[in-house]
Amino acid sequence: MSCHRPESVAGATHAAPGLDHNPAALMQPRAPAATPQELKNGARVKSNNVAPQGVYLPNYNVLTPHMRSPDYVQMSTAAAITLGLMKGRMYRCECTRCLNLLLTYPEGCRANCAYCGLARHREAERDYADRNFIRVDWPAVPLDTTIDIVARDGAASPFHRMCISMITHPRSDADTVTVLKKWTDRIDPATIPVSILSNPTTMTREDVKRLHGLGADIFTVALDAATPEIFDRTRGKGVQSPHSWAKYWEILMDAREVFGREKFGAHIIVGMGETEHDVLALVQRLVDLGGHSHMFCFFPERGSLMDHLPATPRDQWRRVQLGRYLIDYRGVRVEQMSFDGEGRVTGFGIPQGELDDVIDTGIAFRTSGCPGKFREDVSACDRPYGDSPPSNIASFPFQPNRRDVAKIRRQLAPPRAKG
Ligand code: SF4
């Protein structure tokens, strides 16, 4: 078992021929199909009501057990391998440093985000605990088993951070509190800090304060879309989903006040139809507020409403990845950079020698996310191959070597002229 799927079974995984960026007109999600009433809200799992027996590895040939947070959580295949709950090897990686705990319910996430494998429109096709998410299966594990293993390993744990990933569900806020309390009862948050990947749609400022008071270290908001229009198209009314840009920003600003500088951030997916300038202007806004951006390359998820669309071309991704690193960690401002008429980066605003040094260190091209224990600009959240195939890595889950950097340099091309 490997932590990535064979590339032959993936959907549309390549960039559109002849394009060096994904333009807005191209990146239109499919409309969600109607779900028959009898398959809504996890009805199949609830009516079968099969009792879970320990760890559940997604399996389409058995009845999915009835599992619920806070007793159960799901985790990435990489985390399950790192915990020793699954056998497998990860290409060029020993382990992952971040333990993502995803809340789970038979009803699943009630949102319908167009790029997401967990989205509600899939409820007729696949039970929630069996859905692929960010390219891999997510085993369901009793929370107590997970905490037992990490507590047993103590300071020798490979994990640098734990992250509770909320979903859109009426129980999500209360169960996040329970998971956090149970974790911090047994594991010192100074040894393994906790991040919250929030679900602003169901949250209030009081929820943000409660999580901070219980010892959460970093609070993140998955904006995912770089502009309000793309947000609405991919996560809001455009796909019959409940999220709004304004509510996400409201909770992000609450997190800024409650958690403070360097302790909040936002996720952004690159290549859903925004311009490079749109993304980097958002990165600058977050830095000016005192936060960070965590950035991912759009890579179509099988079964999602965007699985027919092209992956983000590497040229676009590398330009934005480098620009984001310069703004987030090197004090460069977006106003120093130059852009062409289509919003593509044509200059990074620093002397070529300095730029070469940054490129050669390779850190700008690593997976971004909340920091681990190595250094501030190296993320603990290094779950591999979530945004690319291993044969053409977008976010490097390890330190790129000289050959990797040479490939990055070839990909980091200036904008192509229109054909
Ligand atoms: S809220 Fe999160 S988990 Fe739910 S569909 Fe949207 S991206 Fe997926």
Tens of pLDDT, residue by residue over 373-392, are 888 888 878 777 778 888 99
Host H or E run for residue 249: helix 245-259
Sign of the CA dihedral with 41 first, then 239, 15, and 342 last: negative
Atom of ligand 1 nearest to the CA of 201: 1
- d(C-alpha 16, C-alpha 271), whole Å: 11
Q: Which of 73, 100, 109 to mutate to test the pocket of ligand 1 (most atoms within 8 A of CB)?
A: 109
Higher pLDDT, 249 or 60: 249
Q: What is the mean pLDDT of the chain?
A: 92
- pLDDT higher than 50, residue 1: no
Question: What burial class does residue 209 get, using C-beta atoms within 10 Å of its C-beta: 0-12 exposed, 13-18 middle, 19+ buried?
Answer: middle
- pLDDT higher than 60, residue 274: yes
Specify the pLDDT at position 4: 39
Atom of ligand 1 nearest to the CA of 110: 4
Q: How far is the CA of 402 from the centre of ligand 1 (A)?
A: 37
Q: Is 109 in the pocket of ligand 1 (CB under 6 A)?
A: yes
Residue whose entry in the numeric block shows the structure tokens 């958002």: 282
- d(C-alpha 370, C-alpha 328), whole Å: 12
Query: How many other C-beta atoms lie within 10 A of the C-beta of residue 406?
Result: 10
Categorize the per-residue pLDDT at 10 as very low, low, confident or very high, splitting at 50, 70 and 90. very low
Strand, coil or helix: what is 299?
A: coil
Q: Is 113 in the pocket of ligand 1 (CB under 6 A)?
A: yes
Q: What percent of the chain has pLDDT over 90?
A: 80
**Which candidate, 295, 383, 364, 376, places its Cα nearest to that of 98?**
383
Specify the pLDDT at position 2: 37
Query: Residue with the nearest Cα to atom 6 of ligand 1?
Result: 113
Is-contact 221 248, C-beta < 8 A? Answer: yes
Strand, coil or helix: what is 165?
A: strand
**pTM for this one?**
0.93
- d(C-alpha 378, C-alpha 390), whole Å: 20
- pLDDT higher than 70, residue 328: yes
**Which candidate, 268, 264, 272, places its Cα nearest to that of 195?**
264
Specify the pLDDT at position 155: 87
Q: Please, where are the H alpha helices in 3-142?
A: 43-48, 77-83
Distance from CA of residue 243 to its chain's centroid? 17
Strand, coil or helix: what is 239?
A: helix
